[in-house]
Structures are given as C-alpha cells and as structure tokens.
C-alpha cells in the first residue's frame, strides 16, 4: 500500500472503531449493521486498490462519506440523530422536508460513487475518454448503487426493531438526491477536464 492509502485507512479505521464502540455501548444495532456494510466496502476497495489505482483525493472523498454516515447515526441534536436534522427550511414538512442532513449525505455520497465508477471506466477503457458513455454510465451506475443502498436500509428495517430509516417519501427523496449528486459530480469533473 502507498503512503496516502495508509493514511486514509488509519483515518477510516479510527472512526469506524470509535463509532462501533459507541454504537455497541448505546445498543444501536441499526448502525452496527451499517458498520458491517462499511467494512465490506472498505475490503472491496482495498482488494481492488492496486488494479484500480484510486487517486488519493477519491479515497479521501470516500472516507469522508463514511464519516458523514457514521456521524449521521451517532450524533444527536435536539433529541434526534443528525440524519433527521433539518439544515435549511427550504420546503415541506415531516418526511417531505428539504433540506436535511440525510439528503446532503446522499447527494455527496452518490456523487462520490459516480466519480469512483467514472474513474474505473476511464482507467479500464481509455477509449471512452470524452464520450457520452463516460458521462452517462457512472451516473446510471451510481443510481443503481443508490437503489442497492435502499435495499440495505430495507433489510435493516425488516431485521431490526426501531430503525430511523423513514418511509416511502424518505426513500424517494434519497433516490432523488442520489441522482442529483451523481449528475452534479460527473458534470463538474467533465467540465473541469474540458477546461484544463
């Protein structure tokens, strides 16, 4: 492993262990489920890191997403987890309120996911540089992985009592913010590359 990979690994492992101990101490089985999922993704990234040659920035963006997720379920503000916290009062009430911390994490996280997919496509298929495929497929892949994320959340709801996942409107808004994040990230990186 390279030096920047070790730095990201140590940072990520530190907050995973810290939040893991915290979630065990308060009996939060929902986020222990998510920690197991996060560890699975860490192992997947570590397994493919040598062939994928992820840039340091991309690894840091992934790690920050994991930290934002752990904080969302572990930090409590006004008696509720950070995920439920309303950052801005843009529109709506209850599950339809925008803009919540949860929605920002979905936007950011699936934007990063689209960048990971774009990096992998570009690295493995250099002929795609500058094509619509390199623009569209990472977005669609990120949307698909966002759907997988909702299936994981649904599995948590079915397996564990008292989750903070939310209902149908929450799921729909999660998918909407996943898509918006993926489109924004890929569009931004594409624009930056064209102007470079």
pLDDT, tens digit (0-9, with 9 covering 90-100), for 32-84: 877 888 888 888 888 887 889 999 999 999 999 999 999 998 888 988 889 88
CB neighbourhood size of 160 (10 A)? 15
- Selection from 81, 60, 55, 46 nearest residue 15 by Cα: 60
Based on its alpha-carbon atoms, the radius of gyration of the chain, rounded to whole angstroms, reads 17
Helix (H) or strand (E) holding 22: helix 3-26
Backbone torsions φ then ψ of 16, nearest 5 degrees: -65, -45
Q: Virtual CA dihedral for 140, 146, 151, 154, nearest 10 degrees?
A: -150
Q: What is the pLDDT of residues 138-149, one digit of tens each?
A: 999 999 999 998
- Selection from 18, 69, 62, 67 nearest residue 42 by Cα: 62
pTM equals: 0.89
């Amino acid at each position: 492993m390279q030096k920047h990979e070790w730095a990201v690994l140590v940072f990520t492992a530190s907050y995973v262990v810290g939040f893991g101990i915290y979630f065990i101490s308060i009996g939060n089985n929902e986020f222990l489920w998510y920690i197991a999922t996060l560890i699975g993704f860490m192992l997947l990234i570590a397994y493919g890191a040598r062939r994928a040659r992820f840039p340091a920035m991309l690894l840091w963006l992934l790690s920050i997403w994991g930290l934002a997720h752990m904080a969302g379920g572990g930090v409590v503000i006004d008696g509720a987890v950070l995920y439920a916290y309303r950052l801005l009062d843009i529109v709506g009430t209850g599950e339809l309120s925008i803009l919540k911390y949860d929605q920002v994490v979905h936007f950011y996280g699936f934007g990063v996911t689209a960048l990971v997919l774009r990096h992998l496509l570009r690295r493995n298929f250099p002929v795609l540089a500058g094509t619509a495929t390199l623009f569209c497929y990472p977005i669609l892949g990120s949307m698909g992985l966002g759907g997988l994320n909702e299936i994981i959340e649904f599995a948590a709801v079915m397996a564990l009592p008292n989750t903070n996942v939310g209902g149908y409107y929450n799921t729909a808004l999660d998918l909407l913010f996943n898509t918006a994040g993926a489109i924004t990230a890929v569009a931004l990186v594409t624009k930056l590359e064209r102007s470079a």
